[in-house]
Amino acid sequence: MNKNDILKGLEIRALSSDGSGIAKPEGFPIFIKDTLPEDVVTAKIIKVKKDMAYARMLSVDQASPDRVAARCAVARPCGGCAIQELAYDKQLAFKDDKVYNCLLRIGGIPAKILDAAHEAPLGMDKPWRYRNKAQYPIGKDRDGRIITGFYAGRTHHIVETEECFLNPPEFAAILRTFIRFCEENRMEPYDESTGRGQVRHLVIRKAFGTGQLMIMPVIRSMKKLDAKTREALKEALVGIPDLATVVLNENPDKTNVILGKETEILYGPGYIEDRLGELTFRIGPLSFYQVNSAQALRLYEKAMEYAALTGKERVYDLCCGIGTISLFAAKRAAHVSGIEAVPEAIEDARVNASINGISNVSFTAARVEAYLKENAGIKADVVILDPPRAGMERSALDAIAAALPSRIVYISCDPATQARDIKVFLAAGYHLERYVTVDQFCQSHHVETVVLLSRV
């Protein structure tokens, strides 16, 4: 097998963890994007390794019974919706299987225990238009025309589109207004290769519980945006229905990181407020907030169910962000301590506690690992974890186990690192009691998982 070979009659047997189809002619795995189990396809080899190859699908010669028509015209080139052409019930099954296999193979948990702990995945009745945040790169096409859209998978090539069926419909109209402003005011898009240009991204956030909108252009230099242009930008945007605030974000670095550290309020209070269940949350321009509000509520409700709080417990919420889970728990516990490395998030968390009139919660800005080391010997009844994709450091896992919580609720967006960390807890005397997958990221291969561990 060589690069550029064209292979016909490839039968797709399974999906990889990133949603690519896997064919195995003569037992040799070939990964083919945009294919589904039971598809028969023709594909062109684009890369060959010792034990695997990668190919580009040229045609679907026999379609899988689970294949559905994509709603989006750029579903294949765009990097956002790897499994949009898979029937939704099969998407849920794929994600559920991915979590199960990680817990089995990486976590080393026997199938019998997994089967007993498993709960049916929590999907959406309408798995579209759910995203409360979108980040649109701004660039130019070959003719010098200003364009926007989304990056193709594993690239920084913009696939041009204004419409995305994961985002609220009003986002497309806002995007058109902003592009028109850039054209009329000669605001040049940023060029990653040269470091020149001014406009990098447009970020839009919507609070589904209140309808409030935040618009945040990301630019290279605040100083180069004069007062006249600032006023023109504000005038172009303030007529948008439900607009609560416009914030500028400055990212001067020659990097592909989207957001910079500095922000400037152009209009409104500089934040939006959302309602989630019975609670109100203030969301700033740099705040982390679950991207699917409807599923976030189900996620937090499941976490509270697993925590089984009675009003007497001391709870630690590690990697607490702006305090969402902490405040849900505080309504049910004696006291909650939220720990988060990002100081701005802790400021938001304290404001959110005040807004909701919740006083039995405290927030500390510190790296979880450092906090647990400095506070060795703490005792907790329940620990809730919601770490970044990379998971927790081993020292933190050991410190959590040493705190002897009766229950650990571990929330993760990466089942592989979650399973790795859970293995440490199992060795420390914990038992996997329940787990469930939550489809926070419909049409993509990503998945959120909530796991309950109980001390034996």
- pLDDT for the residue numbered 311: 98
Q: Could you tell me how far CA 59 lies from the centroid of its own chain?
A: 31
**Distance of alpha carbon 220 from alpha carbon 416, whole angstroms:** 36
**Distance of alpha carbon 246 from alpha carbon 265, whole angstroms:** 6
Residue 212 has pLDDT above 90, yes or no: yes
pTM: 0.95
Tell me 26's DSSP state: G
CA dihedral 397→398→399→403, nearest 10 degrees, is 100
* Cβ atoms 118, 437 nearer than 8 A: no
Sheet holding 146-151, edge to edge: 158-160, 146-151, 133-140, 199-206, 213-219, 243-250, 262-267
Q: Report CA Rg, the chain.
A: 24
Burial category of 159 from C-beta neighbours within 10 Å (exposed 0-12, middle 13-18, buried 19 and up): buried
* Cβ atoms 454, 433 nearer than 8 A: yes
User: Dmax over Cα atoms in the chain, in whole Å?
Assistant: 67
At residue 218, what are phi and psi to the nearest 5 degrees? -105, 120
Q: From residue 139, give the alpha-carbon distance in Å to each of 154, 158, 177, 250, 366.
A: 17, 7, 15, 17, 37
Residue 373 has pLDDT above 90, yes or no: no
- E strand or H helix that includes residue 305: helix 293-307
Active site residues: 413
Kindly indicate whether the domain formed by 6-67 is annotated with CATH number 3.40.50.1000.
no
- pLDDT for the residue numbered 377: 85
**Distance of alpha carbon 414 from alpha carbon 372, whole angstroms:** 23
**Distance of alpha carbon 341 from alpha carbon 365, whole angstroms:** 5
* Cβ atoms 247, 216 nearer than 8 A: yes
Instruction: Name the 3-class secondary structure at 293.
Output: helix
Within 10 Å of residue 189's Cβ, how many Cβ atoms? Answer: 21
pLDDT digits (tens, 9 = 90+) for 427-437: 999 999 999 99
Chain mean pLDDT for the chain: 97
Tell me 189's DSSP state: B
Identify the CA nearest to 258 among candidates 288, 223, 286, 218. 218
- pLDDT for the residue numbered 183: 97
Tell me 301's DSSP state: H
Q: Quick one: angle between helices 227-237 and 170-184, nearest 10? A: 150
Residue 380 pLDDT class (50, 70, 90 cuts)? very high
Residue 298 has pLDDT above 90, yes or no: yes
At residue 303, what are phi and psi to the nearest 5 degrees? -60, -40
CATH domain 92-125+292-455 topology: Rossmann fold (3.40.50)
Residue 154 has pLDDT above 90, yes or no: no
Residue 308 has pLDDT above 90, yes or no: yes
Residue extents of the structural domains in the chain: 6-67, 92-125+292-455, 133-276
Q: From residue 54, give the alpha-carbon distance in Å to each of 19, 45, 62, 121, 276.
A: 13, 6, 20, 31, 43
Residue 79 has pLDDT above 90, yes or no: no
Asked if the domains 92-125+292-455 and 133-276 are classified in one and the same CATH topology, the answer is no
CATH of 133-276, one of 2.40.50.1070, 2.60.40.180, 3.90.550.10, 3.20.20.70: 2.40.50.1070
Burial category of 44 from C-beta neighbours within 10 Å (exposed 0-12, middle 13-18, buried 19 and up): middle
Task: Give the pair of three-digit tokens for residue 191.
Answer: 């060029």
Q: Could you tell me how far CA 26 lies from the centroid of its own chain?
A: 37
Instruction: Name the 3-class secondary structure at 191.
Output: strand
Burial category of 16 from C-beta neighbours within 10 Å (exposed 0-12, middle 13-18, buried 19 and up): middle
- pLDDT for the residue numbered 243: 99
Continuous H helices in 125-190: 170-184
pLDDT digits (tens, 9 = 90+) for 328-351: 999 999 999 999 999 999 999 999
Residue 376 has pLDDT above 90, yes or no: no
Burial category of 299 from C-beta neighbours within 10 Å (exposed 0-12, middle 13-18, buried 19 and up): buried
Lowest mean pLDDT among 5-14, 162-171, 269-278, 366-375: 366-375
Average pLDDT over residues 74-85: 92
